[in-house]
Chains A and B, each alone.
Chain A
Amino acid sequence: MIPRPDADSEDRVIFLRDAKFTYESGVEALKGVTLVIDKGEYLAVVGGNGSGKTTLAKHLNGLLRPTGGQVLVMGVQASTRTVAELARVVGYVFQNPDHQLFCRTVHDEVSFGPANIGLDGPEVKRRADRAIAVMNLSDIRDRPPLSLTLGLRRRVSIASVIAMEPQVLVLDEPTTGLDAREADELMAIIRRLNDEGTTIVLITHEMKLVAEHANRVVVMMDGKVVLDSDTRGAFSDLGLLRRSKLLPPPVTQLAHRLSQIGVSKDILTPQELVFELTRGDDQ
């Protein structure tokens, strides 16, 4: 939780220092959050309802300004930049795609962001085409986005954000309402973006996604970060997770139950459990 002093500031894309936020209604949604996000990380932010995940995420691109403490994006005080300026660096995908889709075609929709940041015509087109290709939307590029299925609408909304080619991509509950296949496809695409160097901040309730994809987990509870560790470490403390109203994925729970017979508790995927169990047979 303490910012690593050895972290090279070049790699540090986001730095929250004791960030606090109180809504006008008086709700104290962030009570001093310190968080460093390095370039290329795949970070999952988890926590119960109302723990402050969305509030935290909205600070990363300036939609909310801290009422105390500091938020630095690429080493610059976020408070000195407009949302439009920050949007080039930090892409934020809202939970509900219907809150952003309004154009006649998928292509127009995806071009909206790049056009807003003042790029010229050919560059807007290049970026839109690339985003459409990345999100596998080429077949439906001329369809009206509002008439697509939820899974596709969500992909269009993500495409419309990555078309601005941000270094950091924040996704708020990207898999809610998707069936297993759509969710898997989406997560595979996000995985690929991360492999290509985009820093991912994934806000989710689904611990299975966290176990399979993230390499670092931040657990929030009641406006504070209560755990910040690598994914394996995060699932070893069941008590803390339970207090944060979270449950590790079923396979990890099973591993915890099987720990008496020597299975290690930090199992994250079924494959690992199978490996662990068959190895046990050998001995």
Chain B
Amino acid sequence: MTGFLDLYSEKDTFLHRLDPRVKLLAVALISVLAFILTELLYLVVLLCFILLLLVLARSSYGKAFFALKFVVRFMILITLLWPLFDRSGAPVLFSIGPLDITEPAVWRGATSAVRVGCFATLWYILMFTTSQRDLVRALVKLGLRFDYGLALAISFRFIPTFGLTIESIKDAQRARALELDKGSILRRSRNYVSILVPTIVYALRTADTLALTLQSRAYGAFSNRTYLREIRMRASDYVAMTVVVLILLLPALAKYIYGVQI
């Protein structure tokens, strides 16, 4: 329950060093590319490229496995379900009762699955290689209001703590012989109140303390605050940005200007 949002691990790879704004741009542009591509073959090539990035990000096996498990499950689900709902086209491969499974639908299912795989893996790479602090800083740099950015950073920061507290609350009630998944529905929902109330009280108390802490550190005293660590684009960041733009631009030009089927 905890830890799943803490995907980031401190490493020294070019993906970790990249300006977080460039990484956000890359996620956006490569996602657009995955939308533009319609041929399964090219999408698979793109997915391979993204998986290569995942390897280059040197993410730990545990985390990569955890992430890919979800992605792969989702992809399989899409591949299997798509032909059931999309029955257009011919030839019909086979029929299950009234359902006709057509060949184009199977291909479309696989294509969508690979596309979704691309999106999801991209996001995982971003989360693996960018600390939440950098991510928030990038968003603020891109024009997000600082207080919203701070709120976002604080929520990220408190999710694991919150998870641990909920675990502890559950244990404390179990020590009073609470059995969460036993009894009627009514009984069960009443049982959950014993977890919910302490959790809400804890959240409110934490928020209160946090507000005081921020104020006592002069939060909001000046509107134009300075930053300890500025993020700045370096030459390598511009190179990476150019590469990313080209990765989208070239296939897009080929498709829309020259009419190449990709």
Interface residues of A (CB under 8 A from B): 25, 58, 61, 63, 82-84, 87-88, 91-94, 96, 98-102, 112-113, 116-117, 146, 160-161, 164
Determine the interface band of chain B, counting residues with CB < 8 A from chain A: 20 to 34
18 CB-based A-B contacts, threshold 8 Å: A58-B171, A84-B174, A87-B174, A91-B175, A92-B175, A94-B172, A96-B168, A96-B172, A98-B205, A100-B176, A102-B193, A112-B176, A112-B194, A113-B176, A113-B177, A116-B178, A116-B179, A160-B176
Q: Are A63 and B171 in contact (CB under 8 A)?
A: yes
Say if the beta carbon of B165 comes within 8 Å of chain A. yes
Say if the beta carbon of B169 comes within 8 Å of chain A. yes
The A/B interface has a contact count, at CB < 8 Å, of 69
Whether A99 contacts B168 in the complex (CB less than 8 A), given A112-B194, A146-B201, comes out as yes
Most A CB within 10 A of own CB, among B169, B176, B198, B205: B176
Interface of B, secondary structure class, is helix
Taking CB atoms, residues of chain A closer than 8 Å to B155 are: none
- The smallest C-beta distance from A95 to any residue of chain B, in angstroms, reads 9
Whether A87 contacts B165 in the complex (CB less than 8 A), given A98-B201, A101-B198, comes out as no
Q: Are B175 and A94 in contact (CB under 8 A)?
A: yes
Interface of A, secondary structure class, is mixed
Say if the beta carbon of B146 comes within 8 Å of chain A. no
Q: Are A88 and B165 in contact (CB under 8 A)?
A: no
B window 183-224: CB within 8 A of A: 193-194, 196-198, 201-202, 205
Whether A99 contacts B177 in the complex (CB less than 8 A), given A112-B194, A146-B201, comes out as no
Q: How many Å lie between the Cα of A61 and that of B198 in the bound state?
A: 22
- The smallest C-beta distance from B252 to any residue of chain A, in angstroms, reads 45
- The smallest C-beta distance from A119 to any residue of chain B, in angstroms, reads 10
